[in-house]
């Protein structure tokens, strides 16, 4: 049986919608900047150089998986649970920073060693520039860490400003200045990677300042901060491993298409597909925005056992996600060819069909709502890990089967199918495990699930 009367606490429901609206406005602005940056780079670099640049950044994204070590999601969850308890916040931060520093430096060192061994096989970009990019791993790790802390402190707008607005805006200004200075010639992948490193450093400085000024004084000072006991450390470490696995495989899911095209196709194919995937992000970003705002509330309601209110909050969030995704999805599917040719140039016309396919896949993603955030914030990291692992296996198999024959279109089909598969898996898991319907349908709380 289901309960159709589930409603969130009015104040929290309004707060989520208000914060989601603010965050959505921020992300719309940031998306506009990112979209403008993508158009600028696509035009001044051309498909081949843009493809090389994209491929190197895809490798950097993979390196970030072990470097982040699942800590951002854990920080958001534990700091949200701590509420106003400054010593508890300080304890979580100290433990998390220690592991974040260790993991990021280790990953950076191993990647530089691998680059030194295989540098002669690198084509199209300077090994020294790739090394500079790999040195950004600790900086990017700390930026992700601080953003997660701000989300746990219920400051979603501040958490997203440095990465989603400041960084692409700084990159666009730098790229625009360079392109004006070298009018008549293509920007190289080397130059773009250097500018990306500068912009990433600037974003880290901003998010660090925002985090320091947002933390309670006691949590910042370190005085009187308790050390986690053995049992707490064990619980956190197990959670981190599960979060690292699920988050890592989810990120791999997002990059396997680019990597497959890089290995089996031409650099130009990577550039064309990247442009299409950025267009499809217009559909996906609503899920990210609302999910980030709602995550701390999911954690608190679940901890307090307020399941009816939790169902209400989830339904509000999921309907906001779906409605915000529906309009851009339909527009991108119907007008895919004009978008690719008029905005990015005739060189990118082949990306129209991949764009339409990716948008359809992301609309299916939005229909299942904030299922991954709900499961993570409820302590079911293992279920999320299994879901995204299954989706990743499907994605790898489909990409390896389709990309060699169908190029960017094959990558889009593989990605859309795998996204639909693992999101359906999580929707079913939410219903069975929590009794919560995470989709925009809001079917209500199942009474027979504890």
Nearest to 211 by CA among 168, 170, 159, 166: 159
Mean pLDDT over 372-391 rounds to: 82
Nearest to 258 by CA among 280, 237, 236: 280
**Overall pTM > 0.75:** no
- Quickly state the pLDDT bin for 55 (edges 50, 70, 90): confident
pLDDT above 70 for 221 = no
* Cβ-Cβ contacts under 8 Å for 94 (sequence gap 6 or more): 222, 225
**Phi–psi pair at 3, nearest 5 degrees:** -105, 115
Q: What is the token pair recorded at 169?
A: 């805006």
3-state secondary structure labels for all residues of 370-398: CHHHHHHHCCCHHHHHHHHHHHHHHHHHH
* Residue 340 DSSP label: I
pLDDT of residue 19: 58
- Between CA 435 and CA 430 the distance in angstroms is 6
Q: Domain-by-domain residue ranges, the chain?
A: 2-446
pLDDT tens figures, 162-203: 988 899 999 999 999 998 887 667 888 889 999 999 999 999
CB 143 within 8 A of CB 203: yes
Nearest to 319 by CA among 20, 22, 29: 20
């Amino acid at each position: 049986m289901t309960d159709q009367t589930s409603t969130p606490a009015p104040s929290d429901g309004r707060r989520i919608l208000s914060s989601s609206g603010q965050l959505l406005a921020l992300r719309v602005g940031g998306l506009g900047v990112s979209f403008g940056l993508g158009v600028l780079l696509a035009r001044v670099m051309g498909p081949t150089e843009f493809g090389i640049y994209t491929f190197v950044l895809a490798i950097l994204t993979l390196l970030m998986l072990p470097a982040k070590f699942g800590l951002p999601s854990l920080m958001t969850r534990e700091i949200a649970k701590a509420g106003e308890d400054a010593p508890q916040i300080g304890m979580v931060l100290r433990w998390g920073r220690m592991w974040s520093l260790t993991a990021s430096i280790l990953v950076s060192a191993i990647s530089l060693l691998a680059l030194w061994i295989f540098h002669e096989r690198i084509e199209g970009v300077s090994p020294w520039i790739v090394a500079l990019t790999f040195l950004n791993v600790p900086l990017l790790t700390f930026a992700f860490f601080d953003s997660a802390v701000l989300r746990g402190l219920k400051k979603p707008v501040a958490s997203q400003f440095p990465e989603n607005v400041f960084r692409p805006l700084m990159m666009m200004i730098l790229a625009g200045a360079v392109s004006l200075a070298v009018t008549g010639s293509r920007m190289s992948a080397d130059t773009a990677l250097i500018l990306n490193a500068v912009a990433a450093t600037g974003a880290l400085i901003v998010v660090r300042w925002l985090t320091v000024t947002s933390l309670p004084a006691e949590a910042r000072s370190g005085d009187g901060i308790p050390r986690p006991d053995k049992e707490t450390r064990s619980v956190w470490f197990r959670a981190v491993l599960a979060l690292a696995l699920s988050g890592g495989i989810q990120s791999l899911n997002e990059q396997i298409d680019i990597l497959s095209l890089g290995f089996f196709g031409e650099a130009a194919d990577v550039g064309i597909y990247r442009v299409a995937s950025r267009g499809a992000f217009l559909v996906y970003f609503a899920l990210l925005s609302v999910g980030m705002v709602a995550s701390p509330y999911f954690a608190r309601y679940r901890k307090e056992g307020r399941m009816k209110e939790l169902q209400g909050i989830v339904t509000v969030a999921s309907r906001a996600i779906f409605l915000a995704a529906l309009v851009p999805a339909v527009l991108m599917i119907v007008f895919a060819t004009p978008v690719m040719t008029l905005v990015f140039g005739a060189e990118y016309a082949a990306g129209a069909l991949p764009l339409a396919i990716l948008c359809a896949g992301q609309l299916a993603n939005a229909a299942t709502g904030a299922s991954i955030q709900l499961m993570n914030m409820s302590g079911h990291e293992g279920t999320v890990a299994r879901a995204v692992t299954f989706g990743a296996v499907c994605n790898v198999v489909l990409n390896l089967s389709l990309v060699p024959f169908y190029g960017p279109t094959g990558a889009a089909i593989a990605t859309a199918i795998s996204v639909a598969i693992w999101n359906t898996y999580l929707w079913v898991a939410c219903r069975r495990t929590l009794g919560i319907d995470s989709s925009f349908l809001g079917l209500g709380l199942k009474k027979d699930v504890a």
